[in-house]
């Protein structure tokens, strides 16, 4: 390192802090609740060469690997002919990663006339045009029905908005006026980053800040490689599947396969064994593959977060162009986060779990909730204005080798995010929520259980169109070391005209018409379990029943815990120790079913050795 340790730590944290400020600026100024409440946004700082230095600690994880390719594309597009006050807008998924809804503003930063850095901010816009409100199209067969693709276009010159470019964008999107506000939010965040960075340059000098950038990369790489040397050399493999390629006539599952090889300090992730690109939306471009690998890796090396180029240059990622993890134009990309992204991050963590199992068993995590993209749109009955919103559910995280998974979170996507509060959604949209509670028996089971899913069901108060693009209704979040897979994502509706009938909509519902009074039942995954369920402490099982996370039936049938009612007035439950011991003895003779569905034991997950810390 070129800087002394104290200067390095102070300035490194200053870079992170300015990105945190920029992210918070976006959240405070944006109109879209997906950004202002759900924090589906990010704000990053890159070197003049386009290498990621820092981003916000609460930023949306699937954005983090798209910063570098996005800046590279803009640089190549205009041949590096930037001027102070320029801001470029861009969202092409194939060259920049992610999907069209993730709109990027890229700002070159100058100090004394010299280009010294870039700011890249991203916000998930609720709508970017296309066939359906919200722009998610679960039955798309190409990208042309998924919304407006924007090549690098200068939208601010000398910090003045180009109204022609802005109107071109607004004309092609529902609720275009709101998107103007989101653009200004991202633009103001970029100016804030510029102010903070130039202040550092003025106070510490060009040489010190440029040295800082290099030291950040070197420090992260050194820390990562040092820990890798403590792991055994070898090859570790894992695989996962989607529910189906919905547009293929035979509806086959889509395989994600990862082979991680450790050789000394070198780590390679080989995804060439994954299936070819599907017909429908599921896959993602190369940049998103790299992001998901970084995301899964940072879960196992949390002290290295947030991501920077030092980690990115320390791992090798292999893929086959035209596969489901390296799609090419015009393969649809809008469903990447609910499709390939979560699976790649999950199998990456599973490969690391195998490597860590004999060294540090606290770095082992089962799979967690898979995103389900629910979009609604229509004309608000009170205001007469068009609206669009993107709703998602939090859910259960995977169990750890030493602790239950968290509930009502989405850590694999947005580690520090909040949900979209139902009070805000009811105020903005014609919705009345009937539920916001845990889904009983949705967790994967084990010595440590997965977190539980959430039920955020609502009634429509006006006519609207609903679209869902999700996954994990059939192939659910996997368990490890004998733990069972978590529960499914589900979506159904009870029509006002027939409230006694529940109509299954599934994870690929397209353009469903809802009328006032229709009741949408929307429930999310529970996380996978870790270890054998029959070894779980019976006191924990009792507490789960009392809290409503699992039923008494599941306590007996899966955990082998017999509960009896106390005779006191409080009608409390207690564990019948003798009956529990006898039941567990009988249940151990009947193995749990193997497979990829809810309550089954993942065939590869069960091969993971249970560390001693996870044994009852």
Write the DSSP string, 100-122.
Answer: TTEEEEEEEEEETTEEEEEEEEE
Of 367, 359, 318, 316, the closest CA to residue 341 belongs to 367
Segment holding 267, helix H or strand E: strand 266-270
Q: What is the dihedral of CA 435, 438, 441, 443, to 10 degrees?
A: 140
282 neighbors 339 (Cβ within 8 angstroms):
yes
How many Å apart are CA 201 and CA 147, to the nearest integer?
40
* CB 176 within 8 Å of CB 129: no
Q: Which residues contact 256 (CB under 8 A, 6 or more apart)?
A: 239, 240, 241, 242, 271, 274, 275, 324, 325, 340, 343, 344, 347
pLDDT tens digit sequence for 323-356: 999 999 999 999 898 999 999 999 999 999 999 9
Select the more confidently predicted residue: 615 or 278. 278
In the predicted model, is pLDDT for residue 567 greater than 90?
A: no
Task: Give the pLDDT confidence score for residue 299 in this predicted structure.
Answer: 92
From first CA to last CA, the distance across the chain in angstroms is: 46
Q: Which pTM value belongs to this model? A: 0.96
- pLDDT over threshold 60, residue 615: no
H helices of 434-511, in order, are none
What is the distance between the alpha carbons of residues 277 and 94, in angstroms, rounded to a whole number? 13
pLDDT mean across residues, the chain: 95
Residue 233: partners with Cβ closer than 8 Å, 6 or more residues away? 262, 263, 264
List, in order, residues 6 or more apart from 171 with CB less than 8 Å away.
none
Q: 614 pLDDT exceeds 90?
A: no
Q: What tens digit of pLDDT does each residue of 143-164 get?
A: 999 999 999 999 999 999 999 9
- Give the pLDDT confidence score for residue 411 in this predicted structure: 72
Q: In which band, very low, low, confident or very high, does the pLDDT at 54 lie, cut at 50, 70 and 90?
A: very high
At 611 the pLDDT is 58
Query: Could you give phi then psi for residue 11, rounded to 5 degrees?
Result: -75, -35
Left (φ > 0), alpha (ψ -120 to 50) or beta: where does 531 sit?
A: left
**pLDDT over threshold 90, residue 410:** no
């Amino acid at each position: 390192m070129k800087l002394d340790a104290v200067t390095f730590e102070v300035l490194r944290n200053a870079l992170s802090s300015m990105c945190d400020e920029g992210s918070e600026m976006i959240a405070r100024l944006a109109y879209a609740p997906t950004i202002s409440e759900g924090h589906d946004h990010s704000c990053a700082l890159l070197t003049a060469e386009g290498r990621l230095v820092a981003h916000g600690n609460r930023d949306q994880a699937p954005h983090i690997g798209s910063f570098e390719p996005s800046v590279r594309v803009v640089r190549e597009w205009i041949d590096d002919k930037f001027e102070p006050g320029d801001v470029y807008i861009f969202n092409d998924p194939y060259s920049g990663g992610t999907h069209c809804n993730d709109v990027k503003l890229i700002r070159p930063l100058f100090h004394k006339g010299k280009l010294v850095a870039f700011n890249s901010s991203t916000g998930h816009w609720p709508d970017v045009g296309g066939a359906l409100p919200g722009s998610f199209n679960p039955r798309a067969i190409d990208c042309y029905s998924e919304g407006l693709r924007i090549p690098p276009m200068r939208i601010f010159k000398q910090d003045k908005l180009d109204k022609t470019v802005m109107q071109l964008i607004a004309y092609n999107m529902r609720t275009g006026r709101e998107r103007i506000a989101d653009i200004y939010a991202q633009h103001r965040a970029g100016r804030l980053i510029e102010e903070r960075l130039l202040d550092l340059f003025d106070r510490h000098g060009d040489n010190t800040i440029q040295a800082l950038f290099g030291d950040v990369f070197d420090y992260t790489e050194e820390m990562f490689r040092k820990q890798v040397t403590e792991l055994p050399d070898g090859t570790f493999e894992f695989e996962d599947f989607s529910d189906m390629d919905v547009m293929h006539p035979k509806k086959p599952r889509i395989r994600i396969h990862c082979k991680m090889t450790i050789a000394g300090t070198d780590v390679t992730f080989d995804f060439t064994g994954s299936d070819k690109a599907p017909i429908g939306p599921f896959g993602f471009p190369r940049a998103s593959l790299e992001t998901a690998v970084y995301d899964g890796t940072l879960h196992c090396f949390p002290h290295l977060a947030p991501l920077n180029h030092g980690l990115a240059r320390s791992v090798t990622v292999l893929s086959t162009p035209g596969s489901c993890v390296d799609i090419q134009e015009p393969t649809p990309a809008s469903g990447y986060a609910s499709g390939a992204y979560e699976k790649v991050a999950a199998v990456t963590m599973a490969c690391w779990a195998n490597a860590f199992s004999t060294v540090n068993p606290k770095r082992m995590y089962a799979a967690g909730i898979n995103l389900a993209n629910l979009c609604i749109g229509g004309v608000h009955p009170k205001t007469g204005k068009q609206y669009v919103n993107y709703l998602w559910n939090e859910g259960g995280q995977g169990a750890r080798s030493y602790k239950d998974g968290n509930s009502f979170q989405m850590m694999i996507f947005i580690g520090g995010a909040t949900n979209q509060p139902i009070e805000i959604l009811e105020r903005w949209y014609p919705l009345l929520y009937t539920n916001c509670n845990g889904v009983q028996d949705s967790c994967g089971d084990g010595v440590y259980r997965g977190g539980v899913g959430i039920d955020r069901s609502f009634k429509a108060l006006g006519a609207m169109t609903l679209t869902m693009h999700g996954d994990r209704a059939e192939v659910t979040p996997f368990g490890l070391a004998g733990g069972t897979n978590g529960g499914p994502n589900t979506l159904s509706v009870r029509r006002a005209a027939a409230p006694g009938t529940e109509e299954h909509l599934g994870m690929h519902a397209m353009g469903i018409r809802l009328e006032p009074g229709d009741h949408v039942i929307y429930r999310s995954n529970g996380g996978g379990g870790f270890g054998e369920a029959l070894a779980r402490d019976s006191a924990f099982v009792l507490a789960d029943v009392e809290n409503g996370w699992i039923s008494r039936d599941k306590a007996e049938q899966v955990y082998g815990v017999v509960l009896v009612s106390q005779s006191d007035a409080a009608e409390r439950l207690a564990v019948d120790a003798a009956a529990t011991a006898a039941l567990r003895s009988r249940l151990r003779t009947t193995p749990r079913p193997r497979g990829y569905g809810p309550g089954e034991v993942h065939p590869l997950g069960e091969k993971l050795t249970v560390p001693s810390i996870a044994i009852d």
